[in-house]
Amino acid sequence: MILTATRGALVAAILGVSALTASAQGFTPENPECIAPANPGGGWDFTCRQVGKSLQDLGLIEKTMQVVNLAGGGGGVAYAEVVNKRNDSNDLVVAASSATATRLAQGAYPGNTMGQVRWLASVGADYGVIAVSKDSAIDTLPALLDQIKADPTSISIAGGSAVGGWDHLKVLIAANAYGIDDVRSVKYIAFDGGGEAVTQLLAGSVQAFTGDISEAKGFVDSGDIKVIAVLAPERLGGEFAEMPTAREQGVDAIGANWRGFYAPGGMSDEAYAAWVEKIGALYASDEWKAVMEANGLAPLDLQGEAFQQFVADSVAQIESISKEIGIIK
């Protein structure tokens, strides 16, 4: 879910970044690195690779950003690596999203809390989708949910987050909105990233996919899958305009996955300020606006303290939803 940033928080962020700008000028990462906490092909991988490329193209970093895929535990393996082994790295950033906030909200990163890292900035929001293979007889979200109602074991839905994670939650929110009383009957299978989940859909191992529009786009373009619902308040623009929303099909389900970055908790203030400034400058660029439009990303412009507060609010909100639908007590 996306939470709306307050005007005060945005002003605070702008003032905070301005105050840090002077110290930020002196820091340049010597060996910039981004950890994508999943296998190649998913949303975290996209975030690292696209932001890394754009930062270099814009001259905001001097060297190519190395992308390291560190899958496992719905992001938990990467989180533990950063907290326990990379806590003082000034060159490291890590892709994060609503999936990260979800696992933190549910206590799924044992011993880890959001306060053990520093939250840098957002780069947009990615609306959720539910999709099927191109050859599927299912053409609408109600048709899929009706089949689950009739026989929950007949439909397996693949996602790139762990059980109870954000991809799982999105389909549960849709099922709950459609009147499936026991959402725990929905059969969800977790994979390490959206790319792997779609691969399983194409192989026929599962009947549907829940993920984000940036993950699905390449497979839609190639004609391999069809999106039966976008979890947005209204239809997206441009090349996404033909994809129906869940809401217009009578299923009042909205799920937007914010995308951004965290950094090691022991990162210096100078390095933190520099990364916040660089990602903020990237977001403000025409180049990034074009990337957002091409990949169906919605606006979400938060840096520094405003982003930190946004993540805290997201964690609290997801904890509430998770309790409501029985994921946690």
Rounded CA Rg of the chain: 19
Put simply, whether the predicted model's pTM sits higher than 0.85 gets the answer: no
Residues 50 and 66 reside in one and the same domain: yes
Higher pLDDT, 291 or 237: 291
Tell me the mean pLDDT in the region 141-150.
97
Mean pLDDT rounded to a whole number for the chain: 90
pLDDT of residue 328: 86
> Is residue 90 in some structural domain?
yes
Residues 149 and 231 reside in one and the same domain: yes
Say which DSSP state 298 is in.
E
Residues 136 and 242 reside in one and the same domain: yes
We report the CATH number of the domain holding residue 102 as: 3.40.190.150
Residues 141 and 286 reside in one and the same domain: no
> Is residue 1 in some structural domain?
no
Domain closes at, from 228, 249, 270 = 249
Domain closes at, from 189, 218, 249 = 249
- Range 201-214 burial, b when 16+ CB lie within 10 A, else e: bbeeebbbbbbbbb
Domains held by the chain: number: 2
Does the pLDDT at position 60 exceed 50? yes
pLDDT of residue 80: 96
Tell me the mean pLDDT in the region 233-259.
92
CA distance linking residue 54 with residue 282, whole number of Å: 7
pLDDT of residue 22: 39
Residues 135 and 234 reside in one and the same domain: yes
- Terminal C-alpha separation, the chain: 20
What is the extent of the structural domain holding 168?
127-249
pLDDT of residue 83: 97
Contact between 274 and 261 under an 8 Å Cβ cutoff? The reply is no
Residues 280 and 227 reside in one and the same domain: no
pLDDT of residue 89: 98
253 Cβ neighbours under 8 A, 6+ residues apart: 170, 173, 174, 176, 177, 178, 229, 231, 246, 247
CA distance linking residue 130 with residue 177, whole number of Å: 14
Residues 225 and 274 reside in one and the same domain: no
Does the pLDDT at position 11 exceed 70? no
Domain closes at, from 249, 273, 295 = 249
Residues 136 and 232 reside in one and the same domain: yes
> Is residue 131 in some structural domain?
yes
Identify any residues that bridge with 285 across adjacent strands, giving them in sequence order: none
pLDDT of residue 288: 97
CA distance linking residue 119 with residue 122, whole number of Å: 9
Tell me the mean pLDDT in the region 164-169.
89
Residues 131 and 237 reside in one and the same domain: yes
We report the CATH number of the domain holding residue 169 as: 3.40.190.10
> Is residue 297 in some structural domain?
yes
pLDDT of residue 161: 87
Identify any residues that bridge with 329 across adjacent strands, giving them in sequence order: none
Tell me: the pLDDT tens digits for 168-198? Answer: 999 999 998 999 988 889 999 999 888 899 9
Residues 115 and 58 reside in one and the same domain: yes
Tell me the mean pLDDT in the region 242-270.
95
Does the pLDDT at position 13 exceed 50? no
Tell me: the pLDDT tens digits for 67-125? Answer: 999 999 889 999 999 999 999 999 999 999 999 999 999 999 988 899 999 999 999 99
Residues 121 and 137 reside in one and the same domain: no
> Is residue 226 in some structural domain?
yes
Residues above pLDDT 70, as percent of the chain: 92
> Is residue 118 in some structural domain?
yes
pLDDT of residue 20: 41
pLDDT-based confidence at residue 25 (cuts at 50, 70, 90): low
Tell me the mean pLDDT in the region 220-244.
93
> Is residue 225 in some structural domain?
yes
> Is residue 70 in some structural domain?
yes
Does the pLDDT at position 263 exceed 80? yes
Residues 273 and 217 reside in one and the same domain: no
pLDDT-based confidence at residue 10 (cuts at 50, 70, 90): very low
Tell me the mean pLDDT in the region 203-220.
93
The CA-atom distances, in angstroms, between 29 and each of 1, 126, 303 are 33, 28, 19
Tell me the mean pLDDT in the region 306-326.
89
